[in-house]
Structure 1
Amino acid sequence: MPDPKPVARSYTPAAGYHFLTPFYDFGVAVTTRERVWRDRLVRHMALGEGDVILDIGSGTGNLALAIARHSRDVRYLGFDPDEAATRIARTKTAQIVPPPEFRVGFFAASAIDDWPSPSKIAICLVLHQVGLEEKARLLREARQVLAPGGKLYVTDYGEQRSRLMRLLFRLTIQQLDGVQDTQPNADGLLPVLMREAGFCDVRELETFRTPTGAIAIIEARKPGT
């Protein structure tokens, strides 16, 4: 019998191409105002002692660094399919206490059975890089592992509402990552997909205008207490 929830085996790597991975941090900092929205994301997450954070698409470890700047006594778990990016993440975060934990692979709920249920999940700059079916699958898997009442924070290119943002998005991200995977984000489908995955209280917290288009922080909650 075929697997009813197949896990993706392809993805767009950091910076679009594997050979650009070493330059990803510089590029994303310049083109997305990354320090601004990552710090704002961590503030919105309102992390407390004992929180368990799952970062789906942890990349080169920048969210782990941002969390360490603002919070203590939280457990950070990072998951990413890119082995090269994860090596960079482990090096960059080696001095953080408690140490972040990283795992390489294509995310699925079954892949983290030995990790505790996260109280909060972050998915940053990931969903615009995968197809529509994979966006939906990742959100369903995230809901499955999230603790009841836990929060999901998606930070990604969202609806491009102005002519300027649509133009910048088209000339940059869509040239690098392709139109097919990125257009649903530009059309504002992320909140719809989050609701369809079973999340409630979906709301856009902030939007940041960047040289590559508008990036939104979207919060949702898993029903339960």
Structure 2
Amino acid sequence: MGRAPSTLYDLAIRLFTREKCWRRIVLRTLAPQPGERILDVGCGTGTLAIAIKSIEPMAKITGIDPDPETLVRAIAKEPRSAAPIFWTKGFARDAAAGRRGAFDAVTCTLVLHQVPLEEKRAGLGAMFDALAPGGRLILADYGEQRSSFMRMLFRQTVQRLDGTTDTQPNADGVLPRLLQEAGFEEVTETAVVPTLTGLIAVFKARKPMTLISPSIVWP
């Protein structure tokens, strides 16, 4: 859903997307461990990043978002701790900037449906690059709308706010293919959550432990 002023955006997410339900699934799927380096792409006002920190205080968490206002709110919301979350400005395509291979896990929620197809590809490619070999991506976003009723809900809410050009690929089920194109393996849809705005899917994918370089063919 499009970014209204941040206070209204948080409220809309809670009311219309069953936020507690899919965030709980994301956290369970992520299963953060002590000392893990975790990047939250499109962190907004920090709800997910702070939740990760609350269940695993020893995780090293970075949140990235392009909106300075939401980052200010994230900093204000963060409980004071010995190991604070690092907040930084940037788009999904900037996920690996200066952080190539730096993270054990990446999360991204309700971001990719808002951006053009090429930005979806660029964002997933950057998330892949930001992960260490064997690292995992947990992605929650509007996925394939699998019934006429869900397509109607999606059309009357998300697509009215964000338009059809950027959102329709998600509704058509493009996310698994884009994840595979970015290089991820073990792409699995772990849950589908029906909401008043359409179906939200949760995906888990992994960066291969070893990247296979193209074979060299000698003349």
Q: TM-score, normalised by structure 1?
A: 0.88
- 1:47 maps to which residue? 32
| 2:7 partner letter | P
**Match of residue 77, structure 1, among 48, 62, 80:** 62
Larger of the two Rg values belongs to structure: 2
- Displacement of 1:97 in angstroms is 4.7
Change beyond 3 A, Cα 1:208–1:96: farther
Check if 1:128 corresponds to 2:116.
no
- 1:183 maps to which residue? 168
Task: Decide whether the 8 Å contact of 2:40 with 2:106 is kept in 1.
Answer: yes
Unaligned segments of structure 2, at least 5 residues: 211-219
Q: Runs of 4 or more off by more than 3 Å in structure 1?
A: none
Q: Partner of 2:122: helix, strand, or coil?
A: helix
**Match of residue 111, structure 1, among 97, 101, 104:** 97
**TM-superposition CA deviations, 1:109-162 (whole Å, max 9, x none):** 55334x871100011100001000000011111111100001011100001101
Partner Cα distance (2:116, 2:179) in 1: 15
Task: Decide whether the 8 Å contact of 1:209 with 1:215 is kept in 2.
Answer: yes
Unaligned segments of structure 1, at least 5 residues: 1-14
Task: Decide whether the 8 Å contact of 1:203 with 1:218 is kept in 2.
Answer: yes
**TM-superposition CA deviations, 1:83-109 (whole Å, max 9, x none):** 111111111114355211100123425
- 1:143 maps to which residue? 128
**Match of residue 87, structure 1, among 72, 81, 99:** 72
**TM-superposition CA deviations, 1:172-196 (whole Å, max 9, x none):** 0000011000000000000000000
- Displacement of 1:23 in angstroms is 1.1
Q: How many residues align?
A: 209
Partner Cα distance (1:191, 1:147) in 2: 21
- 1:16 maps to which residue? 2
Partner Cα distance (2:18, 2:96) in 1: 34
Partner Cα distance (1:62, 1:75) in 2: 16
Q: CA RMSD in A?
A: 1.6
Q: Partner of 2:187: helix, strand, or coil?
A: strand
Partner Cα distance (2:163, 2:118) in 1: 16
Change beyond 3 A, Cα 1:152–1:17: closer
Change beyond 3 A, Cα 1:48–1:17: closer
Partner Cα distance (2:158, 2:150) in 1: 11
Q: TM-score, normalised by structure 2?
A: 0.90
**Match of residue 184, structure 2, among 195, 199, 208:** 199
Task: Decide whether the 8 Å contact of 1:68 with 1:96 is kept in 2.
Answer: no
- Displacement of 1:165 in angstroms is 0.9
- Displacement of 1:64 in angstroms is 1.4
- Displacement of 1:36 in angstroms is 1.4
